Chain A
Amino acid sequence: GNSVTQMEGPVTLSEEAFLTINCTYTATGYPSLFWYVQYPGEGLQLLLKATKADDKGSNKGFEATYRKETTSFHLEKGSVQVSDSAVYFCALTSTSGTYKYIFGTGTRLKVLA
């Protein structure tokens, strides 16, 4: 079945450091891929998405590229801020209309001033 694997946290960085959070997936066909962010005590918010191979999703300085050949969707940001501290979830959904989303276990990011 479909699955998502993301790197375990926590990830601790200094402000202005470069961020990479790895995400790989297993799926049949061509799923859509998402990154969601969760701030403490809140629900998840969409950060970015990509719906086909080689698409690059971007938002608020974060980027991720849909790599079909390596089944990956790694999240990157060139210069993190303290306000980026949160839990980040990689997710996929099949395009076959099953309405089911698969989430990774989440990666906690802590940015120190």
Chain B
Amino acid sequence: DGGITQSPKYLFRKEGQNVTLSCEQNLNHDAMYWYRQDPGQGLRLIYYSQIVNDFQKGDIAEGYSVSREKKESFPLTVTSAQKNPTAFYLCAAKIGAGANVLTFGAGSRLTVL
């Protein structure tokens, strides 16, 4: 089945450590996104990528980094510079230009101890 796979589902991190969240898609979609979800705040855009080797900052990019070396993969690194990293992280993808539907992964929950 085509879809988006995020891993790990749950992740615990000590303060000061970097952690990388994986996002893989087999939908052959061009655009990929990372969102952060906090209770009562909806979804906030961290980074997005329209094509391979290109990505743009979203509304809350500070403390995060991404790469897009392959069409299928868009990993997110939460660095030690992110002051409040505990959250639910969602990866999404869509076909390309135009107002198309976003397809989401199941999410990764990061907890900083």
Contacts and interface: CB of A to CB of B under 8 A. Distances in A.
Interface in A69-113: 89, 93-95, 97, 99-101, 103-106
Contact of A97 (B6, B45, B98): B98
Interface residues of A, number: 24
B106 interface: yes
Nearest to B109: A41
Contact of A43 (B94, B101, B104): B104
Contacts of A32: 99
Nearest to B90: A43
Contacts of B33: 101
Given A32-B99, A44-B92, 20 more contacts: A31-B99, A34-B101, A36-B102, A41-B106, A42-B107, A43-B6, A43-B90, A43-B92, A43-B106, A46-B101, A46-B102, A46-B103, A93-B99, A94-B99, A95-B99, A97-B97, A100-B45, A100-B48, A103-B43, A105-B42
Contacts of B4: 43
A26 interface: no
A97 B33 CA distance: 15
The dominant DSSP class at the A interface is: loop
B25 interface: no
Contacts of B92: 43-44
B41 interface: yes
Interface of B: 4, 6, 31, 33, 35, 40-43, 45, 48, 50, 58, 90, 92, 94, 97-99, 101-107
Nearest to A6: B42
Given A32-B99, A93-B99, A100-B48, A43 B41 contact: no
B98 A95 contact: yes
A51 B99 CA distance: 8
A106 B90 CA distance: 15
Contacts of A14: none
Contacts of A44: 43, 90, 92, 102, 104
A97 B30 CA distance: 13
Contacts of B48: 99-100
Interface in A1-56: 31-32, 34, 36, 41-46, 49, 51
